[in-house]
Amino acid sequence: MESKHLLLAFSVMMLACTSDRQTSDDGTSGQNEKATSLLLKDFKPRSLHKTAETPIERAAFPVIDMHSHAYPRTPEGIDEWVMTMDRLGIAKTVLLTGQTGKGFDSLVNVYSKYSDRFILFCGFDYTGYDQADFGPAAIKELERCVAMGAKGVGELGDKGWGEMYSKPQKALGMHPDDARMKPLLDKCAELNLPVSIHVADPIWMYQPMDSLNDGLMNAFKWRLDNKEAILDHAGMMEVLANVVGENPRVTFIACHYANLSHDLASLAVLLDRFPNLYVDNAAQYGETSVIPRTTAKFYKRYADRIVYGTDMGVDEEMYKTTIRILETEDEHFYDHKISTYHWSMNGYGLDKGVLEKVYRLNALKLLGLDRD
């Protein structure tokens, strides 16, 4: 009797599915039409696996976010951000402003209410970078920004064509290992300023945009494969090695795992080679949570050289997802707000000792702050 009831229920369900998938005039089902016209940007799957879902309230230790930006610019917006930080256990946030001059000063002013919660990095002033006398004025401006409260420099950026983005003036065509950068970096060493540096982009952006590119869904938006006169990913890794090696007194923090999240073994070689190199994990949770066991081993080995970062706004759920990835062993879940890859995410399950170093102890060292 029970078997008959199950069979009847299954038959009713199949009839309902058939009703929902009526064929169109040309014989193609409506569902098939929808699937064949689906765009990559609209593919946002939901996991059907019934696995653990660990609720996240706040981080296991007070966190220093070493890679964020001045997202809100109003007192009300900053107040709300601080309340979010309080709920999640984010003790301090480093704002990589990349700014000099009046732009930097205005950010110092607007965030001054929470000077104990926000740490500002400045940029380099590249005005006149293409002139023979470039250097002294930029150094003078760096010293002025430090007097205004800058605790580091960054985010310096170069994805391959040498834009060295900074405000108000970019240095187009100048890579971080350019000789013109040396006096500025020497001054950073003298002033004990850590330098946050973004080199390259993830490897998928440099690959052909075809069916073999497994990061295509995110890579296509940020593609670099079609850019002329651009250094490729390998070339940018050489630039990173050059600038870090030529400036051993400067502490560099390579953003986004130095964009070597696809090849942590090569990143390990760089960390072993250069004791003045650190990495942040900002905005690379999608790239690394797809290989959780490999990533967890990397964290365990280099727990003293990795710092926590976000670089993804101020949303509370964003913070919770990053904490979930670092702290839990949850499997096969998605957060399409922070990752547009088609890959699912998985937790690393890091132990408390590693977490405390990544969340705060390494940052305290880099920023010259007391543990208390």
**In terms of C-beta density within 10 A (0-12 exposed, 13-18 middle, 19 or more buried), how is residue 357 classed?**
buried
> Which pLDDT does position 12 carry in this prediction?
32
Mean pLDDT of 260-266: 98
How many residues in the chain?
A: 372
Q: For residue 80, how far is the Cα from the chain centroid?
A: 22
Tell me, what's the pLDDT at 27?
46
What is the pLDDT at residue 17?
39
Per-residue b or e along 25-42, where b marks 16 or more CB atoms closer than 10 Å to that residue's CB: eeeeeeeeeeeeeeeeee
pLDDT at position 343, please? Answer: 92
> Does the structure show a pLDDT above 50 at 317?
yes
Average pLDDT (142-150) is 98
DSSP E strand stretches across the chain: 63-68, 90-96, 118-121, 153-158, 195-199, 252-254, 277-280, 306-307
Q: Which residue has the higher pLDDT, 299 or 14?
A: 299
Do 317 and 337 touch, CB atoms closer than 8 A?
yes
Top CATH class, 59-367:
alpha beta
SS3 139: helix
Tell which residue, 298, 303, 309, 306, has the closest CA to residue 262.
298
What's the CA dihedral at 252, 257, 263, 268 to 10 degrees? Answer: 40
Average pLDDT for residues 50-76, to the nearest whole number?
96
Q: What integer pLDDT is reported at residue 31 of this predicted model?
A: 57
Position with higher pLDDT, 157 vs 147 = 147
> What's the confidence (pLDDT) of residue 7?
36
Query: 32 pLDDT band (50/70/90 cuts)?
Result: low
Q: Which residue has the higher pLDDT, 30 or 250?
A: 250
Please tell me the distance from the alpha carbon of residue 356 to that of residue 207, in angstroms, as a whole number. 36
For 51-63, what is the mean pLDDT?
95
Residue with tokens 């990495």: 279
pLDDT above 60 for 10: no
Instruction: Kindly report, residue by residue over 226-236, the tens digit of the pLDDT.
Output: 998 899 999 99
Burial group, residue 128, by CB count within 10 angstroms (0-12, 13-18, 19+) = middle
Specify the range with the lowest mean pLDDT, choosing from 2-11, 182-191, 344-353.
2-11
Range from 89-103, 150-164, 239-253 carrying the lowest mean pLDDT: 150-164
Lowest mean pLDDT segment, chosen from 125-139, 163-177, 218-232, 331-345: 163-177
Q: In angstroms, what CA-CA distances link 47 with 44, 291, 317, 333?
A: 10, 17, 18, 6
Q: Across all residues in the chain, what is the average pLDDT?
A: 91
Q: Which two tokens stand for residue 194?
A: 């850590």
pLDDT for residue 33: 61
Q: Are the C-beta atoms of 155 and 197 separated by less than 8 Å? A: yes
Which candidate, 66, 28, 3, places its Cα nearest to that of 280?
A: 66
Cis-peptide, bond into residue 45, ω within 30° of zero: no
> What confidence score (pLDDT) does residue 229 get?
87
Give the other-Cβ count within 10 Å of 51's Cβ: 11
Asked if residue 139 has pLDDT above 70, the reply is yes
At residue 122, does pLDDT exceed 60? yes
The reported pLDDT for the residue numbered 172 is 87
Residue 190 has pLDDT above 70, yes or no: yes
Query: Mean pLDDT over residues 74-90, rounded?
Result: 98
Residue 13, pLDDT above cutoff 80: no
Q: Which of the four pLDDT bands, split at 50, 70 and 90, describes residue 28?
A: very low
What is the average per-residue pLDDT within 289-296? 98
pLDDT class for 125, splitting at 50, 70, 90?
A: very high
Residue 247 has pLDDT above 80, yes or no: yes
21 has a pLDDT exceeding 50: no
